[in-house]
Amino acid sequence: MFHHVTVLLEEAVNGLKVKPDGIYVDCTLGGAGHSELIASRLGEGGRLIAFDQDESAIEHARGRLAPYMDRVTLIRSNFRHLEEKLLETGVPTHEGVPQVDGILFDLGVSSPQLDEAERGFGYRHDAPLDMRMDRASGLTAADIVNGWDEREIADILDRYGEERFARRIAKAIVEARKRRPIATTGELAELVKEAIPAAARRTGGHPARRSFQALRIAVNDELGAEEDALHQAVACLKPGGRVAVITFHSLEDRICKQIFAKYVQSCTCPPDFPMCVCGASSTLRLVNRKPIEPGAEEIAANPRARSAKLRIAEKLPPGP
């Protein structure tokens, strides 16, 4: 059963300003909550193109979106191939670049992936150490844990998990795998727990949470995919089109904030130049200066929404 509680549903879709005859892209189909609401606001001339690399999400969406499939195209692909796949769908182009009216990202891992023990994302159930969002891809968490060197593992835990005991955990992993390969999430969670000082285990939730997050991000190259896709999204928006991005941790949000800032910034001349000579103009304007966050009612109903942040930007007409 693919059950996913959609976060910031109304806020994100309202932020896109859906037009009945527009073309919209949901880069993270997941449980299809955002897609369903977008599709319900489209008329016969409108179109929704939805991406997911997880086959189970695609199959679930076929049922949930059944009333709207005359205007929906489902694509099984990582959203880092956004521009390429949009070209394949035949959307209008400008100078060879596809042009759409709105693009939505709901980043991170979906609830069904976390809750299905056999996917190997969670530390609360013992399962094969996998963590692939696309089960047809090659690299697994077990490959990293059993094959990468100690420094590489520590770097992943530090960079993607912001784990202050990254070196201790990496050393414990390498020592343990000398005896036998680390094959399950339960084995890894126990190793991480034992590597962290007892006093530090008493706060901040499950001691393996940050390490599992880091491995998941590395296995799926989530931050690299986000960066690639956001640049493509800006290029693929029509003037007046909007991009809405929901993030769930600081690394994702930082990338989104920095990329938006790059396109909002206009003049690139050194500050001591008496006049602008670069001729640059802003590509985006921020719709909300500060990120939109879930209210107390949504957090109470869905605690996983607590860390969510929504940023929205609008494509500006080209400068003179």
Q: Domain range holding 62?
A: 9-106+222-315
State the CB neighbour count (10 A cutoff) for residue 304: 17
Q: Which residues contact 171 (CB under 8 A, 6 or more apart)?
A: 150, 154, 195
For residue 56, tell me if it sits in a domain: yes
Beta bridge partners of residue 128, listed in sequence order: 184
Decide which of 156, 190, 220 is a domain's last residue: 220
Q: Which residue numbers in the chain have pLDDT < 50?
A: 1
- 277-286 burial, b at 16+ Cβ within 10 Å, e below that, comes to eeeeeebbee
Question: pLDDT (tens digit, 9 = 90+) per residue, 64-122?
Answer: 999 999 999 999 999 999 999 999 999 999 999 999 999 999 997 765 555 555 666 77
Whether residue 158 sits in one domain with residue 87: no
Residue 79 annotated as lining a ligand binding site:
yes
Whether residue 264 sits in one domain with residue 310: yes
Q: Exposed, middle or buried by CB within 10 Å (0-12, 13-18, 19+), for 120? A: buried
What whole-number distance in Å separates Cα of residue 173 and Cα of residue 145?
7
Instruction: Provide the pLDDT for residue 1.
Output: 47
Whether residue 137 sits in one domain with residue 48: no
Whether residue 216 sits in one domain with residue 281: no
Q: Exposed, middle or buried by CB within 10 Å (0-12, 13-18, 19+), for 61? A: buried
Q: Exposed, middle or buried by CB within 10 Å (0-12, 13-18, 19+), for 174? A: middle
Residue 113 annotated as lining a ligand binding site:
yes
- Between CA 205 and CA 121, with CA 54 as vertex, the angle to 5 degrees is 20
Residue 33 annotated as lining a ligand binding site:
yes
Q: Is 285 helix (H, G, I), strand (E, B) or coil?
A: strand
**Complete DSSP assignment for 225-238:** HHHHHHHHHHHHEE
Whether residue 269 sits in one domain with residue 126: no
Residue 221 annotated as lining a ligand binding site:
no
Residue 39 annotated as lining a ligand binding site:
no
Instruction: Tell the residue number behind the tokens 């080209």, with chain if given.
Output: 318
Residue 248 annotated as lining a ligand binding site:
no
Instruction: Provide the pLDDT for residue 112.
Output: 55
Q: What is the CATH number of the domain that holds 142?
A: 1.10.150.170
What whole-number distance in Å separates Cα of residue 78 and Cα of residue 189?
28
Whether residue 170 sits in one domain with residue 88: no
Distances (CA, A) of 248 to 48, 136, 245, 256, 292: 24, 25, 10, 11, 12
- Which of 15, 2, 91, 105 is CA-nearest to residue 313? 15
Q: Is 76 helix (H, G, I), strand (E, B) or coil?
A: strand
Whether residue 184 sits in one domain with residue 236: no
Decide which of 204, 220, 236 is a domain's last residue: 220
